[in-house]
Amino acid sequence: MDFDLSEEQSLVKDSVTRLLRAEYGFEAREKHRAEAVGFSEKIWQSFAELGLLAILFDEEDGGLGAGPVQTMIVMEAFGRALVVEPYLASVVMAGAALRHAATAEQRAAIVPGLVEGSSRLAFAFAERGTRYDLARIAMTARPDAGGYRLDGEKTLVLHGDTATGFVVAARTAGAPGEAAGLGLFHLPADAEGLTRRGFETQDGMRAAELSFANVFVSQDAVLGDPQGAWPAIARIEAETIAALCAEAVGSMERMVELTVAYIKERKQFGVPIAAFQVLQHRASEMYMALEQARSMAIFAAMNAGEEDEAARRAAISAAKVQIGRSGRFIGQNAVQLHGGVGVTMEYEIAHHFKRQAMIDLAFGDADHHLKLVADAGGMDERD
């Protein structure tokens, strides 16, 4: 067991950190957000040049074959800077779909564009009735002359308004609530019968509603077994949650840093407010919550690729619980300790607070995952 970064991991960390330091200060971020697509195409190209868009794909697909630890490093750095580019949507989520469901030929056709930054995918899974259970997907895919016809609505598709293509989860058999009968389909954003409506998110990003009206996809657009995509979907979910945990930890770390700096500088009653023990203890509690969250983000990274599904689910859910609770505690107290300026758009802290809140609600909040762990009988020690 060794928590030090390898040379390669340190290189990735250093290069991401350097880029974000130079190009992604709080004000620069506001500029990136204001661009037409809701993020900076230039930054996206920089990610491509640094190889960040390639790290998760296997070498034979044109990727770098790095593992979950590197994803963790990248996402943590993104969390610190509140990166708004569609990395989670395109690289982590759609990338996982390709790795776990697509054939080598399909990957050969799709991955190069993603890696060089010319195409971006979004993963469309959520519907009005899915909430935190992806098995509740109702949208249908009917077999039709050498392919499938997609009908239905997808919503809350992260970066769906600017994606060049989608991975869509739809039902070829069974009823909502059943894990069996789901398929994954890859299609271009300009497919006939597909319309989208973009919107802004609370945390400064973009997302879309998609409407499918008799959209045709050919057989070679089916990623894997059209009725048996559930294991791949479960893996996408696990890897996405692990990545979100790392992002959340980066953001929490920044919040603790900003708050500690602020209370040292802010003076009231003639002294820096950090002189008051009640604030010192609150800051200590925030720090503890951060370290506990960091530990669980590492635990999630360790287990995101675990083969035993029950063990993987327990680990990922446990991490999501800790991240949700720590993120809420740190976020609320960071705003509180900043006082009035904490509830303004002008201060960085408010933007972290909002991102934390949305991360908790993505793929199941703390209570949802606590229930999953509890219903599975707890965290059984498997050693």
Per CB under 8 A, residues contacting other proteins are 1-6, 9, 69, 256, 260, 263-264, 274, 277, 279-281, 283-285, 287-288, 291-296, 298-299, 301-302, 318, 321-322, 370-371, 373-375, 377-379, 381
- For residues 248 and 160, give the distance between their C-alpha atoms in angstroms, rounded to a whole number: 22
Considering only CA atoms, which of 298, 368, 290 is closest in space to residue 333?
290
149 versus 254: smaller Cβ distance to other proteins: 254
- Residue 293 CB, nearest approach to other proteins (Å): 8
Radius of gyration of the chain (CA): 21
In DSSP notation, 238-258 reads: HHHHHHHHHHHHHHHHHHHHH
Considering only CA atoms, which of 349, 329, 316, 188 is closest in space to residue 245?
Answer: 316
The minimum distance between CB 354 and other proteins, in angstroms, equals: 24
165: tokens are: 């293509």
Q: Are 9 and 73 in contact (CB under 8 A)?
A: yes
State in angstroms the smallest separation of the CB of 286 from other proteins.
Answer: 9
Closest CB to other proteins among residues 56, 222: 56
Query: Cβ 19 to other proteins, closest distance in Å?
Result: 21
- Specify which residues 187 forms β-bridges with: 166
CB of 159 to other proteins, least distance (A): 29
Nearer to other proteins, 120 or 320 (CB): 320
What's the closest the beta carbon of residue 350 comes to other proteins, in angstroms? Answer: 22
**What is the rounded CA–CA span in Å between residue 7 and residue 9?**
5
Residue 49 Cβ vs other proteins, minimum distance, rounded to whole Å: 25
Between residues 164 and 292, which has the closer beta carbon with respect to other proteins? 292
- In this structure, the strands spanning 271-272 and 267-268 are antiparallel
Quote the tokens at residue 151. 């009908």
Structure tokens at 138: 């109702």
Residue 229 or 373 having the CB closest to other proteins: 373
When the beta carbons of 162 and 322 are compared against other proteins, the nearer one is 322
Of the pair 1, 36, the CB lying nearest other proteins is at 1
Pairing type for strands 206-218 and 194-200 reads antiparallel
Structure tokens belonging to residue 296: 């669980």
